[in-house]
């Protein structure tokens, strides 16, 4: 048996590098490895009044950990609503209300109150103050061609809420969603908003195909961080983004190019040495060991298969392992305490 784990994914599945459709098979859902990727077990049990069912057919968009309870997680699916676990993924329950069906794009949990959270299905933002039991609408997007893609709390008081949309607008609320104002109109598809837990007022915005931006004053001004990325072909095409859990200013940027590392909050970047040549595969899942960042994991996807890669020397050398299903691995995380535990979520691509 296993205990607490964290598991996060974000972003969208892009076209394959060859232009061909993905060729996948097998179940989707959630998997755990307790031996750093050597073997995998599904964690998809869904008890109902009709017996225990399986979530193996449910594609993973994101899983959001409760920052106050290491055994509680929220599974945001791509078509089946949102689920949660209170036992570290051994079993799952479906949330009630408006986020019980459809695509759930993001969920943000208040840094000081685990029962206050905000979720979006793309058109509406809903707020819960009772741990996802009930929800009320706090914002709606009236334009049919615009969707809400990301929600994030500033990690320091007064805990503003930032929202990113597909048309490039970033909105902010300083009163827990009662009112909203425009922080920045980027004009570029916002794929994610990432608050820096180590520096007040610093946040990062990732765009789908136009790179990275940073604010150091809670959204009053924004800095284009793409100068350092521009020397790497395909690097502006976002796949994943990770702030190092322990080292301030250390970032990982995963793009069509591959994996880049910054030690100065995105001012400059260096490429990680991968077996896969730049631009040859899609990297949809990436993680590091938070206690030893020489231990790195990623998955590489091409139309016919995906492969698991592990390094123990900072990316100089790699071993490869087979994955437990032929679907696309879209999210990966290493447990911050039990660092031999690796988690993967899989998605069935839509046509």
Reported as a single tens digit per residue, the pLDDT across 284-340 is 999 999 899 999 999 999 988 999 999 999 999 999 999 999 999 998 888 877 899
Domains of the chain as residue ranges with CATH: 29-347 (2.130.10.10)
Judged against a pLDDT cut of 90, whether residue 77 lies above it is answered with yes
Residue 59 has pLDDT above 90, yes or no: yes
Mean pLDDT along residues 152-159: 94
Rounded Cα distance between 229 and 330, Å, is: 23
**Residues 134 and 128 sit within 8 Å (Cβ to Cβ):** yes
- Output the 3-class SS for 211-248: CEEEECCCCCCCEECCCCCCCCCCCCCEEEEEECCCCC
Residue 189 has a pLDDT of: 96
* More confident call, 246 vs 204: 204
For 138-151, what is the mean pLDDT?
96
Q: What is the pTM of this model?
A: 0.91
In tens, the pLDDT along 223-274 reads: 999 999 999 999 999 999 999 988 999 999 999 999 999 999 999 999 999 9
Mean of per-residue pLDDT scores for the chain: 91
DSSP 98: G
pLDDT band of 5, cuts 50, 70, 90: very low
Tell me the backbone φ, ψ of residue 97, rounded to 5 degrees. Answer: 90, -155
């Amino acid at each position: 048996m296993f205990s607490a784990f964290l598991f996060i994914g974000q972003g969208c599945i892009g076209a394959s590098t060859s232009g061909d459709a993905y060729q996948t098979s097998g179940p989707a859902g959630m998997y755990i490895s307790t031996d750093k990727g050597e073997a995998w077990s599904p964690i998809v049990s869904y008890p109902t009044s009709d017996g225990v069912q399986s979530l193996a057919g449910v594609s993973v968009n994101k899983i959001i950990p409760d920052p106050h309870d290491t055994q509680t997680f929220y599974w945001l699916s791509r078509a089946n609503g949102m689920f949660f676990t209170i036992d570290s993924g051994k079993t799952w329950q479906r949330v009630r209300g408006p986020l019980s069906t459809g695509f759930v794009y993001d969920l943000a949990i208040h840094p000081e109150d685990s029962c206050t959270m905000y979720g979006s299905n793309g058109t509406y933002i809903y707020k819960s103050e009772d741990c996802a039991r009930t929800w009320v609408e706090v914002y709606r997007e009236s334009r049919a061609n615009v969707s809400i893609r990301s929600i994030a709390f500033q990690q320091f008081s007064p805990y503003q809420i930032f929202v990113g949309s597909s048309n490039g607008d970033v909105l902010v609320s300083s009163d827990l969603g009662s009112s909203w104002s425009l922080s920045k109109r980027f004009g570029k598809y916002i794929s994610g908003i990432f608050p820096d837990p180590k520096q007040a007022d610093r946040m990062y915005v990732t765009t789908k195909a136009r790179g990275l931006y940073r604010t150091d004053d809670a959204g009053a001004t924004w800095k284009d961080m793409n100068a350092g990325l521009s020397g790497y072909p395909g690097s502006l095409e976002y796949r994943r983004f990770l702030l190092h859990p322990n080292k301030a200013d250390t970032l990982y940027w995963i793009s069509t190019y591959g994996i880049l590392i910054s030690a100065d909050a995105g001012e400059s970047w260096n490429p990680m040495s991968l077996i896969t040549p730049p631009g040859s595969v899609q990297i949809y899942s990436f993680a590091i060991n938070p206690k030893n960042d020489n231990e790195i994991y990623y998955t590489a996807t091409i139309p016919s298969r995906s492969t698991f890669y592990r390094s123990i020397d900072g990316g100089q050398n790699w071993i490869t392992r087979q994955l437990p299903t032929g679907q696309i691995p879209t999210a990966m995380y290493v447990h911050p305490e039990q660092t031999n535990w690796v988690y993967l979520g899989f998605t069935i691509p839509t046509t």
